[in-house]
């Protein structure tokens, strides 16, 4: 007995894994090609339908017009970082810079600028070109629609970039392409020099606000001064820590003038008084010295007399009268001499008194005004602060106005012009796409059809996927009566089974048991007719052959040979109803035959009993070959039981029908208990298998010519 591993015959010429892969690929391609030939009408329909759809799609499409503008993007020189600045780094920075610009050219931000600049939201030509309803004119939707028409195409090995716009309108295409380029250049310029402009804009706003604040504060100050009768004659503001140093109002001016006049009057009064006192001293020294001396003496005597005599004494009274007379004399003498000086002094005194009264009145008004001046000063400082801020911002604004001005590093090279003819749709391109799609769809159909149909198509499948040696390939019969065709020794069917016999005898060891079982995966795969044909072929080379119909459930071989179920057979022998096998000699075929007999209810149990084993052993002694027509494998245990008794099993499989998966499962059931499978027999090979190898390796087209030929 050979192990199941010995049954696998490697493909001829295989030298290793690479050769196996090549064979598998060749097999796959051959199988797909054959499948395509089988589906040729379906594939032709798919190709024709796809092409017609491409033509219809082209004719139904709205014509499109392409316009393009061209700009130049110059790399900004950021300066070298030193001698270690490598060329690779420069190239990388250049690549990053240009990639950034290309992405910016495709940004939604730019699309929104174009929509706003061209006022597409209110443009009836634009709405008509894109068939946009007015209610759907949202800025985001418009920007997306415009952006979808743009293609950025950098010109290879240059700094040029083409901005291509494709729309249903030639005018709109040109407008979008030009506006896209212009807005990109403008945005780039704003990005480079936008800080100065932004500062000017902000200063303009601040200047406007400060101008209003200054006007309001000045108006409030003027209203407050008018309401409180504050008249400013002169004001000076020196900046010391940001505070106002001084200001002059009418009250301040009057108070200052009165103060100066009062000081002058006081000086004149003092001068006249001094002059008066000086004159008085001189007069007393020259003319009234004796009178004052006499008065002093009289006053001394009067003091003594009052002490000694008392005030009522006549002498005392007389002396008092004398002193009084002397006083009058002294006074009369000084008054005559100082009358002019006295008049000057009194005049100066009156002037000082009047000026002091006026000064006190002015000071009162000034002090009253000081309470109002606090609020006035606050308002005044607010006015001055606003004016200083306004002057500073105005100076800064003027400086920015004459500041730096730069040039754009991007240039509009070529403006887009409205195209004269549509650029699409292209019938040639759409047909090419349709052909490609049809090809891909056809390949998918072929592959899926082959994927879901895993039937046997190529002899290499049996070798590679099942591990079996192919003993023969039987062509599909030319007539419905296969037995009659087998009777013709020149028929292709007879020749095919003869070749199978030769292959079988060559692979069987000389010491192997000559008990051959034929089985299949499922019914109607040709194992019954193959059993008869193989037995006939062995008989033709002089072998004594007995044929057993052990497919007792169907009894196909018995019916094929015209033996009814009433004839006793194997089921009756194994069941014990008869003791001797009913061996029938088929004269037309030259072989002996044991029919299946009556249909039993438990054929599996009958086969499992020991009677079949002894029968086969006995027949093996009488015949050169015992050929057994066995039941199919799947779903039944009969084939496995019979396989243990056989010297070899020929596995019959129908081409183009039986699934490889089903065959593999059936073989696994046989191999698991150690059944020896010597090879495979493929039946009903037709034109579909010619290019798969059956017709090449097992061709039976060589015919017998007539004697006349």
pLDDT averaged over every residue in the chain: 80
Same domain (yes/no): 366, 512: no
pLDDT band for position 296 (50/70/90)?
confident
pLDDT band for position 678 (50/70/90)?
very high
Return the pLDDT at 544.
96
Query: For 1, which DSSP code?
Result: -
For residue 668, what are its two tokens?
Answer: 């696994």
Same domain (yes/no): 570, 649: yes
Residue 311 or 204, more confident:
204
pLDDT band for position 12 (50/70/90)?
very low
Interacting residues of 115 by C-beta distance below 8 A, sequence separation 6+: 121, 139, 142, 143, 146
Rounded to an integer, what distance in angstroms lies between the CA atom of residue 327 and that of residue 318?
Answer: 14
Return the pLDDT at 315.
76
Q: Is residue 587 part of a domain?
A: yes
The string of pLDDT tens digits covering residues 594-627 is 999 888 877 778 888 778 899 999 999 999 999 9
Return the pLDDT at 698.
45
For residue 501, what are its two tokens?
Answer: 């016999």
Average pLDDT over residues 50-65: 89
Would the pLDDT of 215 be above 70? yes
Return the pLDDT at 634.
80
Cα separations (Å) of 500 from 504, 537, 652, 672?
A: 6, 9, 12, 26
Rounded to an integer, what distance in angstroms lies between the CA atom of residue 499 and that of residue 534?
Answer: 10
Which of these three, 397, 416, 440, is where a domain ends?
397
The string of pLDDT tens digits covering residues 217-274 is 888 878 877 776 666 555 554 443 333 444 556 667 777 787 888 788 777 777 777 7
Residue 196 or 212, more confident:
212
pLDDT band for position 88 (50/70/90)?
low
Return the pLDDT at 317.
75
Return the pLDDT at 114.
93
Of 475-484, 541-550, 619-628, 676-685, give the lowest mean pLDDT range: 475-484
Q: Is residue 623 part of a domain?
A: yes
Would the pLDDT of 86 be above 90? no
CB 414 within 8 A of CB 70: yes
Average pLDDT over residues 54-79: 84
SS3 578: coil
Q: Is residue 413 part of a domain?
A: no
Which conformational region is residue 674 in: left (phi greater than 0), alpha (psi within -120 to 50 degrees), or beta? left
Would the pLDDT of 311 be above 80? no
Same domain (yes/no): 654, 537: yes
Return the pLDDT at 708.
34
Average pLDDT over residues 389-410: 72
Q: Is residue 63 part of a domain?
A: no
Return the pLDDT at 365.
67
Which of these three, 397, 413, 428, is where a domain ends?
397
The contacts found for 478-483 with CB under 8 angstroms, 24 or more apart, are 482/529, 483/529, 483/532, 483/560
The string of pLDDT tens digits covering residues 119-160 is 888 888 888 888 877 666 778 888 888 999 999 999 998 999
Interacting residues of 488 by C-beta distance below 8 A, sequence separation 6+: 494
Return the pLDDT at 407.
66
Return the pLDDT at 231.
61
Same domain (yes/no): 635, 502: yes
* Number of domains comprising the chain: 2
Return the pLDDT at 402.
55
Return the pLDDT at 248.
59
User: Considering Cα of 356, then 361, then 366, then 367, what sign does the dihedral take?
Assistant: positive
Same domain (yes/no): 383, 490: no
Same domain (yes/no): 502, 390: no
CA dihedral 477, 481, 503, 585 (to 10 degrees): 180
Q: 126: number of CA atoms within 13 Å, CB side?
A: 20
Q: Is residue 633 part of a domain?
A: yes
Same domain (yes/no): 390, 514: no
The string of pLDDT tens digits covering residues 560-594 is 998 887 888 898 888 888 889 899 999 999 999 99
Interacting residues of 690 by C-beta distance below 8 A, sequence separation 6+: 696
Give the E-state strand segments of 192-258 in sequence order. Answer: 232-236, 246-249
SS3 328: helix
Return the pLDDT at 397.
74
CATH of the domain at 542: 3.40.50.300
Of 283-287, 344-348, 378-382, give the lowest mean pLDDT range: 283-287
Interacting residues of 64 by C-beta distance below 8 A, sequence separation 6+: 166, 167, 168, 422, 423, 424, 425
Average pLDDT over residues 277-285: 60
Same domain (yes/no): 557, 654: yes
Q: Is residue 423 part of a domain?
A: no
Which of these three, 397, 420, 453, is where a domain ends?
397
- Nearest by Cα to 355 from 273, 272, 271, 258: 258
pLDDT band for position 171 (50/70/90)?
very high
List residues bridging with 517 in a β-sheet.
628, 649
Would the pLDDT of 330 be above 80? no
Residue 621 or 366, more confident:
621
pTM above 0.85, yes or no: no
- Where would I find the H helices in 541-645? 556-560, 570-575, 603-608, 611-622, 638-643
Helix (H) or strand (E) segment spanning residue 649: strand 648-654
Average pLDDT over residues 79-88: 54
pLDDT band for position 2 (50/70/90)?
very low
Same domain (yes/no): 379, 489: no
Work out the number of other CB atoms within 10 angstroms of the CB of residue 682: 29
pLDDT band for position 515 (50/70/90)?
very high
Which percentage of the chain shows pLDDT scores above 90? 28
Return the pLDDT at 134.
66
Helix (H) or strand (E) segment spanning residue 629: strand 625-629
Same domain (yes/no): 340, 478: no
Q: Is residue 250 part of a domain?
A: yes
Same domain (yes/no): 378, 514: no
Rounded to an integer, what distance in angstroms lies between the CA atom of residue 147 and that of residue 163?
Answer: 11
Helix (H) or strand (E) segment spanning residue 350: helix 339-401
CB 189 within 8 A of CB 408: yes
Could you tell me the residue range of the domain that residue 325 belongs to? 246-397
Residue 105 or 688, more confident:
105
Same domain (yes/no): 253, 361: yes
Would the pLDDT of 362 be above 50? yes
Rounded to an integer, what distance in angstroms lies between the CA atom of residue 234 and that of residue 247?
Answer: 6
Would the pLDDT of 53 be above 60? yes
The string of pLDDT tens digits covering residues 553-562 is 888 899 999 8
Q: Is residue 188 part of a domain?
A: no
Most confident segment among 313-322, 429-438, 698-707: 429-438
């Amino acid at each position: 007995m050979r192990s199941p591993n010995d049954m696998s015959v490697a493909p001829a010429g295989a030298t290793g894994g690479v050769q196996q892969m090549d064979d598998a690929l060749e097999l796959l391609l051959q199988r797909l090609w054959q499948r395509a030939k089988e589906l040729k009408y379906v594939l032709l329909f798919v190709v024709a339908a796809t092409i017609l759809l491409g033509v219809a799609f082209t004719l139904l499409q709205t014509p499109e017009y392409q316009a393009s503008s061209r700009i130049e993007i110059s790399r900004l020189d950021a300066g070298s970082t030193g001698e270690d600045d490598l060329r690779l780094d420069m190239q990388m920075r250049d690549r990053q810079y240009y990639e950034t610009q290309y992405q910016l050219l495709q940004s939604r931000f730019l699309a929104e600028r174009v929509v706003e600049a061209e006022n597409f939201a209110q443009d009836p030509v634009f709405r008509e070109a894109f068939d946009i309803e007015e209610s759907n004119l949202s800025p985001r939707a418009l920007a997306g629609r415009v952006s979808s028409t743009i293609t950025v195409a950098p010109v290879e090995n240059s700094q040029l970039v083409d901005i291509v716009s494709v729309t249903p309108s030639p005018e709109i295409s040109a407008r979008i392409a030009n506006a896209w380029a212009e807005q990109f250049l403008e945005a780039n310029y704003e990005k480079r020099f936008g800080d100065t402009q932004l500062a000017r804009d902000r200063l303009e706003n601040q200047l406007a606000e400060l101008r209003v604040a200054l006007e309001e504060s000045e108006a409030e100050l003027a209203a407050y001064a008018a309401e409180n009768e504050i008249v400013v004659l002169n004001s000076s503001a020196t900046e010391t820590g940001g505070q106002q140093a001084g200001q002059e109002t009418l009250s301040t001016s009057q108070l200052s003038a009165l103060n100066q006049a009062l000081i002058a009057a006081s000086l004149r009064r003092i001068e006249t008084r001094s002059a008066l006192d000086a004159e008085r001293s001189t007069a007393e020294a020259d003319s009234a010295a004796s009178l004052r001396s006499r008065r002093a003496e009289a006053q001394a005597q009067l003091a003594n007399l009052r002490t000694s005599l008392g005030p009522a004494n006549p002498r005392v009274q007389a002396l008092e009268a004398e002193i009084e007379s002397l006083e009058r004399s002294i006074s009369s003498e000084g008054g005559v001499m100082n009358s002019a000086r006295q008049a000057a002094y009194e005049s100066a005194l009156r002037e000082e008194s009047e000026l002091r009264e006026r000064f006190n009145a002015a000071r009162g008004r000034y002090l009253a005004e000081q309470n109002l001046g606090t609020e006035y000063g606050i308002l005044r400082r607010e006015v001055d602060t606003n004016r200083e801020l306004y002057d500073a911002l105005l100076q800064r604004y003027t400086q920015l106005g004459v500041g730096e001005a730069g040039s754009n590093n991007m240039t509009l090279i070529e403006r887009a012009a409205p195209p004269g003819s549509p650029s699409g749709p292209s019938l040639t391109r759409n047909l090419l796409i349709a052909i490609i799609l049809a090809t891909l769809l056809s390949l998918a159909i072929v592959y899926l059809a082959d994927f879901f149909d895993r039937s046997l198509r190529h002899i290499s499948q049996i070798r590679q996927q099942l591990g079996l040696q192919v003993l023969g390939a039987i062509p599909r019969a030319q007539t419905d009566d296969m037995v009659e065709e087998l009777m013709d020794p020149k028929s292709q069917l007879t020749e095919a089974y003869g070749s199978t016999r030769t292959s079988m005898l060559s692979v069987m060891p000389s010491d192997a048991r000559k008990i051959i079982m034929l089985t299949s995966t499922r019914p109607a795969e040709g194992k019954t007719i193959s059993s008869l044909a193989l037995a006939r072929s062995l008989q033709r080379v002089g072998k004594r052959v007995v044929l057993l119909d052990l497919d007792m459930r169907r009894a196909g071989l018995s019916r094929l040979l015209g033996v009814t179920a009433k004839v006793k057979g194997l089921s009756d022998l194994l069941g014990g109803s008869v003791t001797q096998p009913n061996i029938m000699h088929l004269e037309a075929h030259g072989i002996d035959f044991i029919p299946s007999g009556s249909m039993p209810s438990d054929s599996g149990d009958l086969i499992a009993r020991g009677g079949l084993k002894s029968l086969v052993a006995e027949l093996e002694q009488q015949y050169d070959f015992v050929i057994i027509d066995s039941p199919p494998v799947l779903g039944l245990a009969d084939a496995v039981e019979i396989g243990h008794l056989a010297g070899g099993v020929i596995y019959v499989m129908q081409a183009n029908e039986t699934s490889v998966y089903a065959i593999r499962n059936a073989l696994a059931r046989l191999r698991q208990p150690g059944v020896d499978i010597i090879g495979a027999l493929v039946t009903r090979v037709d034109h579909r298998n010619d290019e798969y190898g059956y017709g090449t390796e097992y061709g039976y087209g060589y015919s017998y010519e007539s004697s006349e030929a």
